[in-house]
Amino acid sequence: MKKLDFNEHWKWKRLEEPGEGERVTLPHDAMCRERRSQESRGGHNIGWFESSDYVYEKEFDVPQEDRGKTMMLEFEGVYRNAEVYVNGQKAAYRPYGYTNFYVDLTALVRYGERNSVRVIARNADQPNSRWYTGSGIYRPVWLYVGGEQYVAADGVRIRTLSCGSQTEPARIAVGIRTARPGEVSVEITEPGGRLVAAATAQSREEEGGAAGGGRGAECGTENGAAGGGRGAGDGASDSRHGTERARCFAQLTIEIPHAQRWSPAQPRLYTCTVRCGEDCVSERFGIRTLGWDAARGLTINGERVILKGACIHHDNGPLGACAFPEAEERKIRLLMENGYNAVRSAHNPCSKAMLEACDRLGMLVMDEYTDMWYIHKNRYDYASYMEDWWRQDLADMVAKDYNHPSVVLYSTGNEVAETAQKRGIALTGAMTEYLHGLDESRPVSCGINIFFNLLYSMGLGVYSDEKAKKQEEQAGAPGKKAVGSEFYNTMAGLLGDKAMKIGATLYPCDVKTRDAYANMDVAGYNYGIYRYRHDLKKYPERLILGSETFCRDAYLFYEMAKREERIIGDFVWAGMDYMGEAGIGAWEYADYAPSAKDGENGRVADGSDPGWLTAGSGRLDILGFAHGEAAYTRVALEKERGPLLAVRPVYQKGAHSPSAWKMTDAMESWSWDGCEGERASVEIYARAHAVELFLNGRSQGRKRMKRTCAVTFRIPYESGELLALSYDSEGKEIGRCVLKTAGKQTRLTMQPESERLQKGGIGYLRLRYTDENGVWKPMERRHMQIRVENGTLLGFGNACPYNPDGYWKESATTYYGEALAVVRAAQEESVRITVTDEDGAHELEWPVR
């Protein structure tokens, strides 16, 4: 089908508001336009945003010559309980806010007339999430048009049968679903664009017209699984990709000589072009095989791969939940630069733009379904719908993921305490089996919080309707009783990471998880690293994945995984900071978080003030900036050998707010003006036998690296040069790192992340106070105003988790000397940006092509 951009010329407003609304271009996040206050029913979980129900409307023309053609809309993501009306008639309903769905327009449009589409996104019923969700149509919308004969949307599925060798060609299976019987032709072009294979086949009508897209429809193997029906009782229109109109199927096996394999190190992508009648559809894919077993762990193209992963939420910081392709690719690129080779889409299916970026860059993906099953974690969350919709949701997730070589795992859920119950254990197996029917080429996991399963079975943190009612009555009020994962998170913050990991080693934790683990291909351990060795011995066929872990465990995990093939990987919480769960991972002091309250053990970031916006638990901050924890990660996961230096803020006094999800607040700077003689904590990260620290040429001591890649020196601060040396076991220097104190002069450095902007595209501008040589000055806290000409300011602000101003104003204050602006280019030849601070105006001309 022909795919057309349907993202411009929309209007949006709150459902109850009068008038036509405001013109917008999709994707659009309505929630980040809302007020943040104590009246927020979602509270700190959603960053204190108030929320509502929203309506989006668009008018469009359908010419007379399109009469008789099939027309569909694809919504990649609407949060949530989406209702779609076409010319006033209800066309579709989809409760889940993270799954793409299709709406058949064919019988509803008027030819030669003006047509209208109206979308209602309902998000007033709070609380319904443990993190910031955004609201409205936050991912793109596409219009598909098919003539008499066409290839169905998501109608081409490609699977590698063998990768080939120097003497043998690679073999792929291509399954094609079409509207009518007829000839289909396929051309395969290699990464450079050269044609390497071509074939034709006849598309024939299938008996029974199976529309579910099971593995028989994908690869011609065995019998196709039943379609992903949504269950009964919602009265909504079916959204299964229009396959009820496309009941014909063609299957081809194609040989590709001298195939270039896709791998994380060399992410080579081929293009499959399918022609059917006048229709032409192209799909990019990679030639790669995937294996998993107890003997070799996880393998790609026959070679073992260790997942060095990061959990990420779907928001894009200053852009809210909007899934701009540039933002999704930037997130992946930054994570890869800091040592990660995999992401977990916590806790919902990721966007198509993210998968495309992962394919191009070589990032591996575990795509996750949901954060709850049939037990609520919040009163109005998806547990009310999950049992009726999980088959449809999973079918749509697989349809989205199938051709993407970057996707190597499916996850059916996160911290679902149902896995400790007989009913939930059966559901675990049912979803695993169902996913195998849709796609037998990828393993299935589920992230189980091991200690939480035990606590839940003991009645601690258990959700109930009665508790939910009380929670709703107390929404926005400090001290409300936490349940579910929020209860566990509160415990972890109070007791620390070791208490949680030790708790997971208790024998009853095994009892409450073993049956669920037996019903999946890969056992997902949330915070269970201390029981890896025990379980590897007890369960010799079990594959273990650290589906959620603490930052400080990266070194321990990687050393264990290198020795034991059945530990296939690790996903730290979190790779990048995110909005919501406000303050859960923050280490803040009184100067940046004045709402933190004094306690016996220091200052506590309990998120009870609506100034708190982000979790503060990313190895990259909410703006994507990397500091000490990212440096540690690069060394722990062997992205770099080191040594690398980071220093905790010397001038900060008193205790910071505690969190198990943060390892350090050190940053790569030795510029702490006015702190001469004060105690400085200097951290060195290195893969070495020993390290030595020098200050202005004087040795401050040497330390052995014993079963660690991080050591700390405590020395008096003295401006000048800080030098770290690393040594091998024979005392030979193998690396060095230097930090220098910034000079007296202070300037605003404006650093675009790209040389040019695309017309209509977005770009990131890093703002940083430095000296004349570009040496960062983290103690510069300044207020700035910004003006953008020939473009639009999409977001502007700092990375502090306590951020009452947010990102949607034309003014901001720096956080440790830094801020970020995100702009969208118009059609002119350049975007002009002016930033004004106490020193005057600073201008940047950003070329556009």
DSSP letters for 80-96: SSEEEEETTEEEEEE--
CA-nearest of 298, 315, 388, 380 to 354 is: 315
Cα dist from 444 to 291, 371, 520, whole Å: 12, 16, 6
Place of tokens 């017209």: 209
Supply the pLDDT for residue 217.
Answer: 30
Supply the pLDDT for residue 456.
Answer: 87
What is the spatial distance between Cα 405 and Cα 447, in angstroms, rounded to a whole number? 22
What is the spatial distance between Cα 279 and Cα 176, in angstroms, rounded to a whole number? 13
Supply the pLDDT for residue 649.
Answer: 97
Supply the pLDDT for residue 245.
Answer: 67
Residue 120: left (phi > 0), alpha (psi -120 to 50), or beta?
beta
Choose the most confident range, by mean pLDDT, from 338-352, 467-481, 643-657. 338-352
Q: Is 170 exposed, middle or buried (0-12, 13-18, 19+ CB in 10 A)?
A: buried
Supply the pLDDT for residue 421.
Answer: 95
Determine phi and psi for 599, rounding to 5 degrees: -140, 175
DSSP H/E element including 691: strand 690-695
CB 11 within 8 A of CB 23: yes
Supply the pLDDT for residue 497.
Answer: 86
Supply the pLDDT for residue 221.
Answer: 27
Q: Is the pLDDT of residue 476 over 80?
A: no
Please write down the long-range contacts of 292-295, taking CB distance under 8 Å and 24 or more positions apart: 292/443, 292/521, 292/522, 292/543, 292/568, 293/543, 294/540, 294/541, 294/542, 294/543, 294/565, 294/566, 295/565
**Residue 300's pLDDT band (boundaries 50, 70, 90)?**
very high
CA-nearest of 586, 590, 546, 543 to 566 is: 543
Q: Is the pLDDT of residue 49 over 70?
A: yes
Q: Is the pLDDT of residue 235 over 80?
A: no
**Residue 483's pLDDT band (boundaries 50, 70, 90)?**
low
Q: Is the pLDDT of residue 24 over 90?
A: yes
> How many residues in the chain?
849
Supply the pLDDT for residue 494.
Answer: 73
Read off the pLDDT of each residue in 608-618 and give the average, rounded to a whole number. Answer: 93
CB 307 within 8 A of CB 524: no
Q: Is the pLDDT of residue 27 over 50?
A: yes
Minimum mean pLDDT range among 245-249, 308-312, 391-395, 668-672: 245-249
Amino acid making up residue 634: R
CA-nearest of 395, 387, 310 to 354 is: 310
Read off the pLDDT of each residue in 383-408 and give the average, rounded to a whole number. Answer: 98
Read off the pLDDT of each residue in 574-578 and give the average, rounded to a whole number. Answer: 98
pLDDT in tens, 106-153: 999 999 999 999 999 999 999 999 999 999 999 999 999 999 999 999
Read off the pLDDT of each residue in 623-634 and give the average, rounded to a whole number. Answer: 98
Read off the pLDDT of each residue in 526-552 and give the average, rounded to a whole number. Answer: 97
* Cα Rg, the chain, nearest whole Å: 27
CA-nearest of 202, 148, 214 to 433 is: 214
Supply the pLDDT for residue 474.
Answer: 65
Q: Is the pLDDT of residue 226 over 50?
A: no
- Helices 386-401 and 352-361 cross at an angle (nearest 10°) of 40
Supply the pLDDT for residue 601.
Answer: 37
Q: Is the pLDDT of residue 215 over 50?
A: no
What is the spatial distance between Cα 326 and Cα 825, in angstroms, rounded to a whole number? 13
What is the spatial distance between Cα 297 and Cα 782, in angstroms, rounded to a whole number? 51
Q: Is the pLDDT of residue 342 over 80?
A: yes
Supply the pLDDT for residue 434.
Answer: 98
**Residue 726's pLDDT band (boundaries 50, 70, 90)?**
very high
Choose the most confident range, by mean pLDDT, from 474-488, 580-594, 612-626. 612-626
Q: Is the pLDDT of residue 427 over 80?
A: yes
CB 271 within 8 A of CB 284: yes
Supply the pLDDT for residue 604.
Answer: 44
CB 99 within 8 A of CB 349: yes
Q: Is the pLDDT of residue 308 over 90?
A: yes
Read off the pLDDT of each residue in 817-831 and give the average, rounded to a whole number. Answer: 97
Supply the pLDDT for residue 778.
Answer: 98
Q: Is 598 exposed, middle or buried (0-12, 13-18, 19+ CB in 10 A)?
A: exposed
pLDDT above 90 covers a percentage of the chain that reads: 85
Mean pLDDT of the chain: 92
Q: What is the pTM of this model?
A: 0.94
